């Protein structure tokens, strides 16, 4: 008995596991919970996206300030270089004048009675290693009332002042160059950060759009269930709201050619194509692939003007998608359409490079989502890619 119970429990668990989650969710109660969850998920993505935009704006302002600081620092370096050149020129002029002044002082000393003390001072004046020694010698000579000593002291003081000024200016220039280097590093970091923030923002913008589409699609599916009289845990297409879908799906245009298959793009193989592209002239009528009810009539930057429809075939729910229409469909949520009623016309709105309709089928669902799409060839008899067809 215990073994039988265990086997029964295992069977129940396996049964629950293999039932598609989307089928279990196709009730009013289930969809209401999902819609609430998707709304919260969408709002979180919007909040995250808004924060990323604010961070990006703040970081961009930092980059602008760094650019202004770099311009200011470069201007300061240029001004400092000019001051250094001027100081060097003044030092050069003084270095030419000082030997003449010292020679004049020497001539005065020769013309006077030289004492041993005087000779000692003169030797310091002409052979000393520093300005302070020279000034000490001149002050000593000045006490002997020798001419030109005051003028000579002034020149030596000026020379020392200019040398110190040159050193200070060079140190200041070096500090400015270091500052400029740090600004360059900051600029490089900010640019990399902006690149990263832009990449994250673009991914989250796509995620936000997908979350919004999923939320709105399920919300409209819930509206359809309620309009069809479904309540509680009744399953759409089984317990309520069943539509006559005929024998299945047929081609959505009377004639045309398959230009892109479901799966990887033929050109790059990197982007997953969630449907089949059917090409024909602009304005070619597009029809429902099966009898059903309009789920959504909207626009996005990828598929342009598009319309989705809800169908029930053999007790299962499907959603079909028709993209790149030349203009919005005149039909809206809840409108029932037959297979011979044009729902729109071929165009190339959105990210299209030629006139065609992007046709997708999602199975076991009451809402449209690219992740749920299956290869339309599983349900519709299309000819090989590149071969024209002339009937549905």
Looking up residue 196, the CATH number of its domain turns out to be 1.10.287
Closest CA to 261 of 174, 376, 142, 129: 376
Residues 6+ apart with CB under 8 A from 322: 252, 286, 306, 307, 308, 309, 343, 344, 357, 358, 359
Instruction: Give, as one character, the DSSP assignment of residue 344.
Output: E
The pLDDT, as a whole number, for residue 105 is 62
Statement to judge: residues 196 and 291 lie in one domain: no
Number of domains present in the structure of the chain:
2
Statement to judge: residues 8 and 147 lie in one domain: yes
The pLDDT, as a whole number, for residue 365 is 81
Statement to judge: residues 188 and 266 lie in one domain: no
Strand-pairing partners, residue 388, are 257
* Domain interval for residue 260: 256-389
CATH code, domain with 291: 2.70.70.10
The pLDDT, as a whole number, for residue 4 is 44
Statement to judge: residues 179 and 281 lie in one domain: no
Statement to judge: residues 364 and 297 lie in one domain: yes
The pLDDT, as a whole number, for residue 226 is 76
Which CA distances in Å does 85 have to 168, 173, 178? 13, 12, 20
Statement to judge: residues 327 and 222 lie in one domain: no
Statement to judge: residues 273 and 184 lie in one domain: no
Residue at 102 is within a domain: yes
Statement to judge: residues 330 and 377 lie in one domain: yes
Statement to judge: residues 169 and 275 lie in one domain: no
Residue at 242 is within a domain: no
Length of the chain: 392
Closest CA to 303 of 275, 281, 284: 275
Under DSSP, is residue 304 helix (H, G, I), strand (E, B) or coil? Answer: strand
Under DSSP, is residue 280 helix (H, G, I), strand (E, B) or coil? Answer: coil
Statement to judge: residues 375 and 315 lie in one domain: yes
**What average pLDDT values come out for the chain (392 residues) when binned by 10 residues?**
41 33 53 83 86 88 88 87 84 77 63 49 50 56 52 71 83 86 88 87 82 77 73 67 58 93 62 89 94 91 92 86 95 88 94 94 82 88 87 86
Residue at 283 is within a domain: yes
Alpha carbons 84 and 166: distance in angstroms, whole number: 6
The backbone torsions φ and ψ at residue 328, rounded to the nearest 5 degrees and listed phi first, read -60, 145
Residues 6+ apart with CB under 8 A from 24: 30
Statement to judge: residues 183 and 34 lie in one domain: yes
The pLDDT, as a whole number, for residue 151 is 64
Residue at 245 is within a domain: no
Residue at 36 is within a domain: yes
| C-beta of residue 162 within 8 angstroms of C-beta of residue 91 | yes
Statement to judge: residues 125 and 215 lie in one domain: yes
b/e burial code for range 346-384 (CB count within 10 A of at least 16 → b) = bbbbbebeebbbbbbbbbbbbbbbbebbbbbeebbebee
Burial of 275 (0-12, 13-18, 19+ CB in 10 A): buried
């Amino acid at each position: 008995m215990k073994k039988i119970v265990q086997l029964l429990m295992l069977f129940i668990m396996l049964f629950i596991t293999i039932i598609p989650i989307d089928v279990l969710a196709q009730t009013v109660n289930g969809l209401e919970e999902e819609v609430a969850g998707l709304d919260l998920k969408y709002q979180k993505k919007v909040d995250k996206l808004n924060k990323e935009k604010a961070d990006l704006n703040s970081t961009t302002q930092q980059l602008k300030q760094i650019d202004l600081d770099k311009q200011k620092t470069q201007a300061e370096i240029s001004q400092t270089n000019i001051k250094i050149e001027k100081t060097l020129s003044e030092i050069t002029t003084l270095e030419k004048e000082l030997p003449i002044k010292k020679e004049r002082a020497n001539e005065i000393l020769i013309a006077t009675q030289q004492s041993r003390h005087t000779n000692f001072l003169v030797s310091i004046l002409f052979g000393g290693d520093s300005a302070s020694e020279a000034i000490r010698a001149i002050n000593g000579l000045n006490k002997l009332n020798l001419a030109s000593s005051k003028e000579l002291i002034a020149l030596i003081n000026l020379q020392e002042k200019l040398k110190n000024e040159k050193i200070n200016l060079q140190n200041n220039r070096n500090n400015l160059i270091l500052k400029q280097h740090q600004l360059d590093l900051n600029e490089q970091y900010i640019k990399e950060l902006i690149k990263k923030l832009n990449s994250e923002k673009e991914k989250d913008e796509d995620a936000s759009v997908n979350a919004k589409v999923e939320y709105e699609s399920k919300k409209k599916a819930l509206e359809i269930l309620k309009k069809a009289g479904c309540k509680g845990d009744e399953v759409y297409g089984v317990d309520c709201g069943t539509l006559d879908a005929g024998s299945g799906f047929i081609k959505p245009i009377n004639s045309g050619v398959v230009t892109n298959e479901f799966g990887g793009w033929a050109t790059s193989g990197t982007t997953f194509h969630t449907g089949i592209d059917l090409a024909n002239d602009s304005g070619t009528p597009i029809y429902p692939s099966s009898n059903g009810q309009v789920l959504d009539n909207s626009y996005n930057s990828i598929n342009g003007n598009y319309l989705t429809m809800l169908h029930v075939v053999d007790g299962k729910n499907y959603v079909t998608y028709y993209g790149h229409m030349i203009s919005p469909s005149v039909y809206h949520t809840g409108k029932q359409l037959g297979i011979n009623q044009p729902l729109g016309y071929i165009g190339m709105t959105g990210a299209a490079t030629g006139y065609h309709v992007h046709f997708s089928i999602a199975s076991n669902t009451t809402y449209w989502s690219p992740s749920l799409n299956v290869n339309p060839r599983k349900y519709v008899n299309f000819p090989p890619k590149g071969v024209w067809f002339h009937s549905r």
